[in-house]
């Protein structure tokens, strides 16, 4: 049974003292990890992980840092080595960068990903309608992961109906008040299309909430989803493995059946 974590910021300083141990624990439990970036420095640091094929890496600018990264030319020197572009998108919850900057930087990175045929990781918080308008205006024909899905039934249906869009659920799926996420997971299961991920070092699942998160903890999210959906973890593994291979290669059944 294969387990994957599609979102772990292992290049973050919080792992400086024990990164090797964290990776060792992850490799004992998982089959692969995606390391997304959020600005120029984190993108450059993420690329160092490419020496190990266990890791997949994305480069790009998170909406929080859009105002200071309006010039995206640095991506020209990084994208060829990376597997994808991300995490990119809109965040109106914290609204650290002006909305116009967020939209412009997001749009330009979408175009960049499409031009260079790189898969995309989306970050979106309280900005779904604007983000949806922008991404559907571009209609990228590459895989798109909607990281840390945070909405309800209407939004999940929109995502799932686009063949190359895949929602991903984080540790907050396990939180007591996250009924909307659990309803969305049920719908995603009907489509057999979703990922589970940690967003390490944040969003630790129950029973580790409040502690630093790390990739091996995705096991608790798989376990929770298994119990909630009333299916074996092996079935969830089949779904997430299928979509991992859709993006990174291997069995092409997902692509053949869904595109």
Assess whether pLDDT exceeds 70 at residue 42.
yes
Percent of the chain exceeding pLDDT 90 equals 96
Assess whether pLDDT exceeds 70 at residue 255.
no
> What is the mean pLDDT of the segment spanning 107-135?
98
Class of domain 4-258 as given by CATH: alpha beta
Assess whether pLDDT exceeds 90 at residue 215.
yes
Q: Which of 168, 172, 113, 129 is nearest to 146 (CA)?
A: 168
For residue 250, the model assigns a pLDDT of 67
Q: What is the pLDDT of residues 14-35, one digit of tens each?
A: 999 999 999 999 999 999 999 9
Mean pLDDT of the chain: 95
Assess whether pLDDT exceeds 50 at residue 258.
no
Assess whether pLDDT exceeds 70 at residue 259.
no
Domain ranges of the chain: 4-258
For residue 257, the model assigns a pLDDT of 40
Residue in this structure with the two tokens 């993108």, named with its chain if needed:
43
For residue 169, the model assigns a pLDDT of 98
Q: What is the pLDDT of residues 53-91, one digit of tens each?
A: 999 999 999 999 999 999 999 999 999 999 999 999 999
pTM of the model: 0.95
How many angstroms from the chain centroid is the CA of residue 225?
17
> What is the mean pLDDT of the segment spanning 234-240?
98
The set of residues, in sequence order, having a beta carbon less than 8 Å from that of 23 and lying 6+ positions away, is 10
pLDDT band at 179 (very low <50, low <70, confident <90, very high): very high
For residue 65, the model assigns a pLDDT of 98
The answer to whether the CB of 58 falls within 8 A of the CB of 83 is: yes
Taking CA atoms, 121 is separated from 16, 17, 24, 229, in Å, by 24, 27, 25, 25
Q: How many CB atoms lie within 10 A of CB 109?
A: 24
For residue 157, the model assigns a pLDDT of 98
Assess whether pLDDT exceeds 80 at residue 251.
no
Assess whether pLDDT exceeds 60 at residue 254.
no
Assess whether pLDDT exceeds 50 at residue 256.
no
> What is the mean pLDDT of the segment spanning 215-234?
98
The answer to whether the bond into 201 is cis (omega within 30° of 0) is yes
Q: What are the φ and ψ backbone dihedral angles of 200, each rounded to 5 degrees?
A: -55, 140
- The b/e string for 175-211 (b: 16+ C-beta within 10 A; e otherwise) is eeebeebbebbebbbebebbbbbbbbbbbbbeeeeee
Rounded to an integer, what distance in angstroms lies between the CA atom of residue 202 and that of residue 41?
19
């Amino acid at each position: 049974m294969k387990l994957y974590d599609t979102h772990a910021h292992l290049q973050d300083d919080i792992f400086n003292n024990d990164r090797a141990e964290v990776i060792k624990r992850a490799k004992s439990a998982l089959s692969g990890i995606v390391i997304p970036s959020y600005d120029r420095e984190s993108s450059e640091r993420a690329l160092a992980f490419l020496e190990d094929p266990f890791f997949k890496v994305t480069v790009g600018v998170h909406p929080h840092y859009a105002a200071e990264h309006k010039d995206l030319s640095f991506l020209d020197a990084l994208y060829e080595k990376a597997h994808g572009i991300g995490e990119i998108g809109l965040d109106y919850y914290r609204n650290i960068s002006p909305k116009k900057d967020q939209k412009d930087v997001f749009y330009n990175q979408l175009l960049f990903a499409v031009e260079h045929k790189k898969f995309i990781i989306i970050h979106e918080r309280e900005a779904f309608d604007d983000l949806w308008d922008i991404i559907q205006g571009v209609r990228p024909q590459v895989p798109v992961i909607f990281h840390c899905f945070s909405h309800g039934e209407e939004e999940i249906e929109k995502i799932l109906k686009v063949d190359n869009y895949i929602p991903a659920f984080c540790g907050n799926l396990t939180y007591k008040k996250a009924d909307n996420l659990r309803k969305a997971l049920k719908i995603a299961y009907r489509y057999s299309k979703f990922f589970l991920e940690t967003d390490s070092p944040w969003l630790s699942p129950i029973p580790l909430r409040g502690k630093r998160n790390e990739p091996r903890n995705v096991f608790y999210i798989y376990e929770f989803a298994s119990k909630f959906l009333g299916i074996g973890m092996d079935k969830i593994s089949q779904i997430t493995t299928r979509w991992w291979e859709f993006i990174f290669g291997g069995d092409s059944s997902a692509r053949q059946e869904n595109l």
